[in-house]
Amino acid sequence: MPTTVIPKMIPPAFLAVVLIWSTTPLGIVWSSESVHPTMAVLLRMMIALTLGSLIILSCRIRLPWSKTARHLYAVSSIGIVGGMLLSYFAARYLPSGTMSLLFGLSPLISGFLAQKLLGEPKFGPLRLVAFAVAFLGLGIVCSTKLAIASDSWMGLVLVLTAVCLFSLSGVLVKRVNINIHPLASTVGALLYSTPMFALAWLLFDGTLPINTWQTRSLLAITYLGVFGSLIGFIGYFYILQHLKASTVALITLITPVFAMMLGAQLNDEAITPTLIIGAGFVITGLALYQFGDRLASTILTRKPN
């Protein structure tokens, strides 16, 4: 790709990923308002799989089907099925902003799992502090939600489990050594995931009350299928190829703030002072985790004037 093209495409791609990730939690809440969560996520995946397959065919992108490729699709589906299905169920108990905030913890959980599964170095002092600060914020957020609604604990458990499965899937993907196009990886994972979503729909619902489906839910499902599951993924991998990982990590700090603002403005979600304090701790912990070591190294190596 010519170097003159990259500067023009990176800013809109970065902005697109931030906007898509910020609006996804609210889209999940709206799509589940009148459509059963299992059907909402199944329709979303079917839209993404159909569009992704059409793009692969039209662009003649190879879809590997070797044993290694199938293993990649399988471990990828852990995050897709576990992460999304549980998030859709949690949307009935938690506001979209809180869901986005809890998903922001995924880098920390991924780092912890990478130590166990990939043999990565243990957390240094700053990252341990970051871990403690973020989870202190999580405790504050959880105590706020539990005080407001008695059944919020179900949503909290569902989202935290979803985050763990999403993080586990990402770590397991790193163990698979294969060179594959990001879109092919997405379509392959969707081929594995979509039947499991269909099975979940049969087990938990199995009905098609189309006459009760509202326009807002259907528009949200379509938006998530096209943007949340396809365009957002392509944009994410594009900026990941051209930007430093630390820069891309800024997305996890920005999206919870935007998601909470959108939830308050568009869905009348309450933002209490205690929730703001908890969110501040979480985001501070994430910032320390992502940039603390580098900042400390810069300060220590800086020569005195």
Cα 77 to its chain centre, rounded Å, is: 13
| Close Cβ partners of 214 (under 8 Å, ≥ 6 residues apart) | 33, 34
149 confidence band (pLDDT: 50, 70, 90) = low
pTM: 0.84
State the pLDDT at residue 4. 39
State the pLDDT at residue 105. 84
State the pLDDT at residue 241. 64
Q: Residues 139, 141, 143, CA angle at the centre, nearest 5°?
A: 65
State the pLDDT at residue 218. 96
State the pLDDT at residue 304. 58
Question: Lowest-pLDDT range, 74-83, 264-273, 293-302?
Answer: 293-302
Q: How far is CA 87 from CA 22, 98, 116, in A?
A: 15, 11, 25
**Tokens for 234?**
């392509």
CA dist 187 and 198 (Å) reads 16
| Close Cβ partners of 293 (under 8 Å, ≥ 6 residues apart) | 124, 126, 127
Mean pLDDT value across residues 233-245: 71
Phi, psi of 12, rounded to the nearest 5 degrees: -65, -30
Reported for 221-224, long-range contacts at CB under 8 A and 24+ positions apart, including other chains, are 221/31, 221/35, 221/40, 221/43, 221/44, 221/47, 222/47, 223/23, 223/27, 224/24, 224/27, 224/28, 224/31, 224/44
Q: How many other CB atoms are there within 10 angstroms of residue 300's CB atom? A: 7
Decide: 94 and 253 in contact? Cβ < 8 Å: no
Region class of 60: left (phi > 0), else alpha (psi between -120 and 50), else beta: left
